[in-house]
Structure 1
Amino acid sequence: MKLHWVSLGCVKNQVDSEWMKARCRDAGWRLVDTPREADTIVVNTCGFIEAAVSESIDTILDLARWKTEGTCRALVVIGCLVERYRQTLQELLPEVDLFVGTAGFDRIVPLIEMAEDLHGCYLPTIERIDAGSPAPERRLPPSRAVYIKIAEGCNRHCTYCIIPRLRGRQKSRALEAIVSEARQLIDAGAQEVILVAQETTAYGCDLEEDLRLADLLAALAALSDGVWVRFLYGHPETIDERLIETVREIPHVLPYFDIPIQHGSDRILRRMGRGYGNKDIVRLIDSIRERIPEAVVRTTVITGFPGERRADFQSLLDLVRQLRFEHLGVFVYSDAEDLPSHRLSDPVSKRTAQTRKDRLMALQMDISRQWLTSFMHRQLPVLVEQRIEDGLYGARAWFQAPEVDGMVLVAAQELPIGSRIPVRITGSLDYDLLGETVS
């Protein structure tokens, strides 16, 4: 049986898909690259913001045509979109044979095998994967950078976020299970291990053992001296001194801190339900940089949140100017009727929110340009990820996370994808560096 799989949304969704695809391969399914030749098509959806919902529905409708134009006998839609809009989807998308909510890793094979006979059925969310369940054997991507999900769900109640309702409360995986998965991937040739969760720095808060992210990082670092270890999606309240010290002390745990602060105004942070204020952010970033001078900090913020006034935006602008984050992502607030923030007063127009985003990104571009010039003529190890064109490759230095940050563009005739090589920095752009190989 031939299976075509499409995964939309965040990297956590991609990890879910890798797990489920591995289980399908183990059960004898053959994964194919195009929907035209598939017997079954699975779409793992995202339903986080309006744009993601639209992309998911458009993708489903586009793939549905292969039920008449190809060999597809079953179209299966899974994931966050289903969990959020289950009843609406059954009416909106009669082309779909089976809808499955979030989770269901261990039962994905029997579910898709029965999909052809279900004709639009919705199966409620089923038992979440056991925290100690062994990971299936995954295949390395060409870049040899792999994501490992260390927890599911979230215990927070940010007013703009639907994730706790879709994914449930925090459930950390057993440390031994994570280490075992990492060992298998490193033995297969992984060059970088990237830890992800809804709140990675809350890892272990729900476990009976007294374990935290610092313990997990130390255990992973013991597996190999050469593999980069990175964690994404930290929360300001769960980044403590012990975690900072662990990052400082272990050389190949990268001093890269991804900390979405979301805003710089105390009033807006309260409306968001974030649990901290402007001064807390400053203290945390100052503490990280004092202990680890070479640390790189990435953050994300939201413009146009309900009630955001000029003074609130100015507080955010001033904070970005003060802290000079090495990497910054800016999102325009996305509203939906099922969000607590939808009930807040004083909505901000999309035009105003976009203008504020543009101002932030203009400021960040200046910050990025100045920061990147500091790497001129330096020699850095980079991980080669892709061939862009003849004589040009895309690579990443340790201070660049995949997909969200800039790259090092390396001039070379032939470089092995997935290799780590030394390069000399020869120039810089707005967000990227230019480099050449070192003979």
Structure 2
Amino acid sequence: MKKNTIDIITLGCSKNLVDSEHLMRQLEEAGYHVTHDAERPQGEIAVINTCGFIGDAKEESINMILEFAQAKEEGLLKKLYVMGCLSERYLKELAIEIPQVDKFYGKFNWKELLHDLGKNYREELHNERVLTTPTHYAYLKISEGCDRKCSYCAIPIITGRHVSRPMEEILQEVRYLVDRGVKEFQIIAQELTYYGVDLYHKQMLPELVERIADIPGVEWIRLHYAYPAHFPTDLFRVMRERPNVCKYMDIALQHISDNMLQKMRRHVTKEQTYQLIENFRKEVPGIHLRTTLMVGHPGETEADFEELKEFVRKVRFDRMGAFAYSEEEGTFAANNYEDNISQEVKQARLDELMAIQQEISSELSAAKIGRQMKVIIDRVEGDYYIGRTEFDSPEVDPEVLIERNGEQLIIGNFYQVEIVNSDDFDLYGHII
């Protein structure tokens, strides 16, 4: 057990990761040695940043807490703290169920952790972070919370109302990160398109993205988690005109049948969804769209599911994820619908949908063979350098594998690469 060492373990999404990075900076300033997601944590203090989004994520968080609680009982750990979405949501229950944890914090009061360690939160460092990602890219969180009331989603219950960060503060953080070598920014929020409505009384995402794009040293900006209703169409112009704004949009559509969109309380119709996609492709030539879809929401009929499959075949998304509905207590769906579709049916629909997408992804990847693309190098693995194009977000999207062949490439640098081959997920290329 290493004295003065704190191990931080982050579960869930990149928004949680940003919170962990801010906490790590504060802890380092307070004189601690901090590790993140270490293979074998050895510190005398552990902090687990939990996820509470869906069943699987909650289970993973609880298992992780129990594992560390066990280590504490065995004398391998002095203090165990838990923060994040799961403990925001189930603070009281968890404290009773897992008494080995010294203290549970919610998602927003983790600053108290410093106080409980006998340290002070340093306000002047509020924009500073210890990056856990490779140093050439970072996640940039522009808001917290969500004002949408989708039937199935517990996030507004956990994170509360939408709160935008002031634009100047975000730009200051970008400059700070650029000074530390960051070239690529993944802009994240629970819901990007709502940015600015609370602070400036209108949707300010297009202006924010333009102002980030103006900062020297920002080479790629990628946008994650947009909402289809009332989409700020000026963003099309920004994506088209700005070479450092990636032609990539992560927009969770969830479903296509009007029946399901209504039951899910998505405030958008089938026709509007098709129209939005058409506008994207017309206004931003070369755009790659990533979406997330849901199967098995209460009331999803075979006809609804057939419509969803047709949608996936027709639109041919460049990137697609899907998940099966899981009932979350406190949500509109849990209070008003019966979760009456069996786990088997949900799984079968999920598998079928993903099989259709896999074929599409495979064809779209193959179509890139022979193209020259700008690629950023993330890491070395075995005989390959692993990189990404502007159409690929870290962790979730395909990668470009480049044989090492005695060539020395620099991690975090951009190269022109000719795509020579592809498989179901990844591309293979060589340096031009």
- Normalised by the shorter chain, which TM-score bucket? over 0.9
Does residue 64 (structure 1) correspond to residue 56 (structure 2)? The answer is: no
* Identity rate, percent: 36
- Written as runs of structure 1 = structure 2, the 5 A alignment for 1:76-87 is 76-87=81-92
Q: Relative to structure 1, is the Cα distance of residues 288 and 387 closer, same or farther in structure 2, using a 3 angstrom cutoff?
A: same
Does residue 434 (structure 1) correspond to residue 428 (structure 2)? The answer is: yes
2:418 aligned to which of 421, 424, 427: 424
Matched residue, 2:104: 99
Does residue 172 (structure 1) correspond to residue 133 (structure 2)? The answer is: no
- Written as runs of structure 1 = structure 2, the 5 A alignment for 1:342-357 is 342=334, 343-345=336-338, 347-357=340-350
In structure 2, C-alpha distance between the alignment counterparts of 1:278 and 1:348, rounded to whole Å: 23
- Deviation digits for residues 211-232 of structure 1 (CA, Å, limit 9, x no counterpart): 6011111111111265101110
- Deviation digits for residues 277-318 of structure 1 (CA, Å, limit 9, x no counterpart): 111110001001011121110100001111110000011111
Matched residue, 1:5: 8
Are the aligned partners of 1:35 and 1:66 in contact in 2 as well (CA < 8 Å)? no
Unmatched tracts of structure 2, length 5 or more:
none
Moved more, 18-27 or 61-70: 61-70
Q: 1:386 offset after TM fit, Å? A: 2.2
- Written as runs of structure 1 = structure 2, the 5 A alignment for 1:351-430 is 351-389=344-382, 391-412=383-404, 413=406, 414-430=408-424
Q: 1:345 offset after TM fit, Å? A: 3.4
> Alignment length, in residue pairs?
423
Opposite residue 360 of structure 1, the aligned amino acid is L
1:16 aligned to which of 14, 19, 37: 19
Give 3-state SS (helix, strand or coil) of 2:330's partner.
coil
Give 3-state SS (helix, strand or coil) of 1:348's partner.
coil
Matched residue, 1:122: none
Does residue 321 (structure 1) correspond to residue 313 (structure 2)? The answer is: yes
Q: Relative to structure 1, is the Cα distance of residues 398 and 50 closer, same or farther in structure 2, using a 3 angstrom cutoff?
A: same
RMSD: 2.1
- Deviation digits for residues 135-191 of structure 1 (CA, Å, limit 9, x no counterpart): 124336325210011000100111111111111101000111111111111121112
Q: Relative to structure 1, is the Cα distance of residues 384 and 101 closer, same or farther in structure 2, using a 3 angstrom cutoff?
A: same
Are the aligned partners of 2:212 and 2:218 in contact in 1 as well (CA < 8 Å)? no
Q: Relative to structure 1, is the Cα distance of residues 220 and 405 closer, same or farther in structure 2, using a 3 angstrom cutoff?
A: same
Matched residue, 2:258: 266
In structure 2, C-alpha distance between the alignment counterparts of 1:380 and 1:61, rounded to whole Å: 46
Opposite residue 234 of structure 2, the aligned amino acid is R
1:40 aligned to which of 45, 55, 60: 45
Moved more, 12-21 or 222-231: 222-231
In structure 2, C-alpha distance between the alignment counterparts of 1:17 and 1:398, rounded to whole Å: 26
Does residue 230 (structure 1) correspond to residue 234 (structure 2)? The answer is: no
Q: Relative to structure 1, is the Cα distance of residues 173 and 402 closer, same or farther in structure 2, using a 3 angstrom cutoff?
A: same
Moved more, 206-215 or 373-382: 206-215
Are the aligned partners of 1:396 and 1:408 in contact in 2 as well (CA < 8 Å)? yes
Q: Relative to structure 1, is the Cα distance of residues 225 and 197 closer, same or farther in structure 2, using a 3 angstrom cutoff?
A: same
Q: Relative to structure 1, is the Cα distance of residues 211 and 276 closer, same or farther in structure 2, using a 3 angstrom cutoff?
A: closer
- Written as runs of structure 1 = structure 2, the 5 A alignment for 1:323-338 is 323-338=315-330
In structure 1, C-alpha distance between the alignment counterparts of 2:21 and 2:132, rounded to whole Å: 10
Give 3-state SS (helix, strand or coil) of 1:219's partner.
helix
Does residue 73 (structure 1) correspond to residue 78 (structure 2)? The answer is: yes
Give 3-state SS (helix, strand or coil) of 1:255's partner.
strand
Moved more, 343-352 or 243-252: 343-352
Opposite residue 263 of structure 2, the aligned amino acid is R
- Deviation digits for residues 239-269 of structure 1 (CA, Å, limit 9, x no counterpart): 2221111111111111111110000111111
Q: 1:417 offset after TM fit, Å? A: 2.4
Matched residue, 2:146: 154
Are the aligned partners of 2:193 and 2:227 in contact in 1 as well (CA < 8 Å)? yes
Q: 1:105 offset after TM fit, Å? A: 4.7
In structure 1, C-alpha distance between the alignment counterparts of 2:132 and 2:23, rounded to whole Å: 15
In structure 2, C-alpha distance between the alignment counterparts of 1:70 and 1:346, rounded to whole Å: 43
Give 3-state SS (helix, strand or coil) of 1:104's partner.
coil
- Deviation digits for residues 84-113 of structure 1 (CA, Å, limit 9, x no counterpart): 212221121111010011112544411344
